[in-house]
Structure 1
Amino acid sequence: MIVALLLAQAASTDAYLDQGRQRWEQVSRQIWEFAETGLQEKRSAAYLEDLLEKEGFKVQRGVGQLPTAFVATAGSGSPVVAVLAEYDALPELSQKAGESSKAPTAAGAPGHGCGHNLLGTAAVAAGVAANRARIERKLPGTIQIFGTPAEEILIGKTFMIMAGAFKDTDAVLSWHPDDNNEIDPGKRTALTATDVEFFGKTSHAAASPWLGRSALDALEVFEHSMALMREHILPTARIHRVIKNGGVVANVIPEYAKLQMWLRDANMSNVEEMIGRMRKAADGAALATETRAKVSVLASVRNPIGNEVLGRLMQKELERVGAPRWDESDVAFAKALQKELGMEQAGMDSAVAPFGRGKGSTASSDIGEVSAAAPLAELRVAARPIGTAAHHWAQTACAAHPTGGKGMLVASKVLAASLVDLLQDPASVQAAKAELAKATKGKPYASPLAADAKPTVF
């Protein structure tokens, strides 16, 4: 009897989302067309904020020094359950919708190469569906929808936490488009993003080069040192860099050079060890070239603290809803993309993986910071072909294709039903909080950023 009742209750949120499918696909497509990068998501944020206000949510705009962040709230009292929405795009990843070969909408334009138009829309749809169920069933509790900008530069959620946005939140659910369907607490890595700057002395490169001290030389020595270091880091570690400034003209010795470097690994202690070695490399390069080095931390996120209570609750709903149901045209599109990318033409994932299979990942996210402030679990749903990756034009193409829409629908159903489950089961909420307290040994959240830090685009 109880099981039948729970299934019927879940079916009501499913039915609402099925009935509104076209609406949510239009919302997703609009955000896809906005394609605004981190801290620039003005139209995307306003669009979602206005929608939520019309749905009866109280919306706080401009949270945590972030004009494009919001917190939408409905209901009152405990438990306070939340879902995370993201809506930032990536630079230079525009792509025509549903095109299986590279075809930018405009050269150099941004695009949703991580599918955040799907992510944000599914989260909002789930929150709306769960709130309707809360009202219909007269359930106690509060639903929050966090609009979290600038995930791609890993700062939005951290500044929101620092502003106290999550202080009353009991449980947080999240999701991300992927090439599979799973809930795996070990799916993210820790990361620190830095600027490495060198300061030298300018001079005429032909007439008096001996009077100059090249910041570019220092940068090159530093780069070589880091390249050699790659042999001596763990297999789980990754180092990425891009030169932001290497001088202006060849006949003037550069007095300034800047490189941006991101370091990531399975946990923050490993990242911190690499950062220490990186600082030595920068100082050594400066010493060798008689310049000065400066290393600045831009962003830092820990690997998420897994929460089995929330993860298994969402796993139950994922298994109930099932993987997206693909048709022949979806599979044909997927295989065309895979062929274009030179990979096995395996199509789309149609299975639900077992809970916590430990597949691992090299991706990072500021949800790691949220997981230290409140219990959190993250869902993955297939919204792109097997074997393809995010941060690629292929994901942009999928994010405005039926494959992305079908993944988004499944995610919204799982999130909505899970939110309602938590409202109906305060004991699970308390168990999730106890699990986090045990993992953190009761220590309060400590931000990796300075208390006076300001959000900046980098």
Structure 2
Amino acid sequence: MKTRRIAAVLAALCAPAAFAAGAAPTDAYLDETRGQWEALAQRIWEAPEVGLQEVRSSAMLAAALEQEGFKVTRGVPGLPTAFVATAGSGEPVVTLLAEYDALPALSQVAGSTKKQPIAAGAPGHACGHNLLGTAAVAGAAAANRARLAQHLPGTIQVLGTPAEEQFIGKAFMARDGLFAKSAAVLTWHPDDQNRVVNRTRLAVSAADVEFFGKSAHASASPWLGRSSLDALALFDHAMALMREHVKPTARIHRVVKDGGAQANIIPDYTRGQYWLRDATGESVEELMGRLRQAADGAALATGTRAKVTVLFSARDVVPNDALGKLLHRELERVGAPAFDAADVGWAQALQREVGVEPQGLSTGVVPYAPRVGGTASSDIGEVSAVAPLAELGVAVRPIGTAAHHWAQTSAAAHPVGRRGMLVAAKVLGASAVDLLRDPALCQAVAEDFHRATGGKPYRSPLAPDATPRAF
């Protein structure tokens, strides 16, 4: 029986690929091996790890690729939980992105429709990255089998990109040239709809703003001190006033990370963290310049010293119409996830619990059009400035529910999430094969990229000596 199943998979892999309705050569393999990918996603869900700590998650995905014949390099400079996996050689290089970091304090019992942490304060896959990384690996494995069976030219590459939630992995990997040879980059993200996401996401940069003063007894000899807290408070007020004088698309977020040790000690050190967002990377750069001036002004006014350190930066995504249309064609061919009555009932119960209309689950594909999707920032923006990129969204949670929420953690270990994951893997795998088979398609993708970027070479917003670090 096993021999017959393998023979059927190989026969499908050798069949010609086409956009017409029907199974692509990668679909049969993914249907045949569905259980192993669902088990892998579940193992990652059960071991949630936050950014730059994804030791087990990264290792599980890398091991799965090695078993599929990929050459895997674990770790890249500064990012020990990243990996680079390749199969094949030469051009075109088709890259799939894998993410696998969890979010802090969003632990949740699998499939529960009530807020029910497994452990209070523990992390959870509230953005569904256990599904994201697994589907990318599964799609790459399927595409590579088709590459071998059809004797296709080119390279299938999977980049394991850690700490997406902190905008770290891809930005540093882009700066260090890991996307430079990619003819196309395919990615996906858990969603409540089935669509190609080509709306420009907000650009974002973040910085630690530190002030250095002099400590002193706050009662006995305050004149000897220079309060770094005064500097931080003055700086924060300046940033608050700035909100009236920024574009409507701009966002400024902040949190005090270190405000001093005790009230009767004039603090000699404080640190705030500030995130800046706007519609374009150029606008964010301008905001960062104003932030630096405000920090210097606050330091001058309080007799302290300021230091601004950029933690990460990700520009707005550069859409690629040719690549987006490819993903859309394959999504229409594969179709939306096939949910059953139990799935819908579960979804409606969860929707009622979180206070949204109980519409159930998305069962259709959103028509392809410009500006589809949300505006949440992502480090895929940096990748899209280096190489052509397109992003897919697949429904893995009930309509109207949010990511970065315990409900998504619950869905990421539910059959609903697994059904969506398989659709994503099929679309990514088939699209990768289409690119290997069709030089004209690769040329159209390249021309779109050149038009969108104006042919300008990529320039990283990160300093050459910047190093990734959790924050």
Tell whether 2:244 aligns with 1:231. yes
Could you say if the C-alpha distance between residues 279 and 111 of structure 1 is closer, same or farther in structure 2, counting changes exceeding 3 Å? same
Task: Check if 1:196 corresponds to 2:205.
Answer: no
1:87 maps to which residue?
100
Following the alignment from structure 2 to structure 1, what is the Cα–Cα distance between the partners of residues 377 and 259?
28
What residue number does 2:326 align with?
Answer: 313
**Aligned partners of 2:191, 2:262: CA distance in 1, in Å?**
43
Match of 1:434 in 2: 447
Secondary structure at 1:69 match in 2: strand
Q: How many residues align?
A: 457
Q: Which amino acid aligns with 1:118?
A: L
Q: Could you give the per-residue CA deviations for residues 66-106 of structure 1, whole angstroms, max 9, x where no partner exists?
A: 11111111112222111111111112121111122222221
CA positional deviation for 1:382: 1.2
2:186 aligned to 165, 168, 173, which one? 173
Counterpart contact for 1:123–1:415, Cα < 8 Å: yes
The aligned runs of 1:374-389 (5 Å cut-off) are 374-389=387-402
Change (3 A) 1:342 1:227: farther
TM-score by length of 2: 0.92
Deviation at 1:180, TM superposition (A): 1.2
CA contact (8 A) 2:198 2:372 kept: no
Deviations 1:162-191 (A, max 9, x none): 333223221110000111111132242211
CA distance in 1, matches of 2:223, 2:369: 60
- Superposed displacement of residue 5, structure 1: 5.3
> For 1:359-382, what per-residue CA distance to the aligned partner results, in whole angstroms no more than 9, with x for missing partners?
453311111111111111111111
Distance 2:103 2:192 in 1: 19
Q: Within the alignment, does 1:395 sit opposite 2:427 as a pair? A: no
Instruction: Encode CA deviations 1:107-166: one digit per residue, 9 max, x unaligned.
Output: 221111111111000000000011111112222221111111111111211222333322
Q: Deviations over 1:216-265 (max 9, x none)?
A: 22222222222232233223222222211011112212111111111111
Matches within 5 A, 1:266-415: 266-359=279-372, 361-415=374-428
Are the equivalent residues in 2 in contact too, given 1:206–1:251 (CA < 8 A)? yes
Aligned residue for 1:67, secondary structure, equals strand
- Which AA in structure 2 matches 1:36? E
Q: Residue type of the partner of 1:401?
A: H
Q: Is the 1:170–1:375 Cα contact (8 Å) retained in structure 2?
A: yes
Deviates more, 1:414-423 or 1:269-278: 269-278
1:135 to 123, 133, 148: 148
* Residue matched to 2:85: 72
The equivalent of 1:418 in structure 2 is: 431
Measured on the aligned residues, the alpha-carbon RMSD in Å equals: 1.9
Structure 2 residue ranges without an equivalent (≥5) = 1-14
Structure 2 residue 165 is matched with structure 1 residue 152? yes
Per-residue deviation at 1:58?
A: 0.9
Cα deviation for residue 20 of structure 1 reads: 1.7
Matched, 1:210 2:223: yes
SS in 1 for 2:101: coil
CA distance in 2, matches of 1:8, 1:398: 30
Q: Which amino acid aligns with 2:117?
A: P
2:204–2:314 contact (8 Å) kept in structure 1: yes
Unaligned runs of 5+ in 1: none
Does the Cα contact within 8 Å between 1:63 and 1:165 map onto a contact in 2? Answer: no
Distance (whole Å) between structure 1 residues aligned to residue 413 and residue 329 of structure 2 = 28
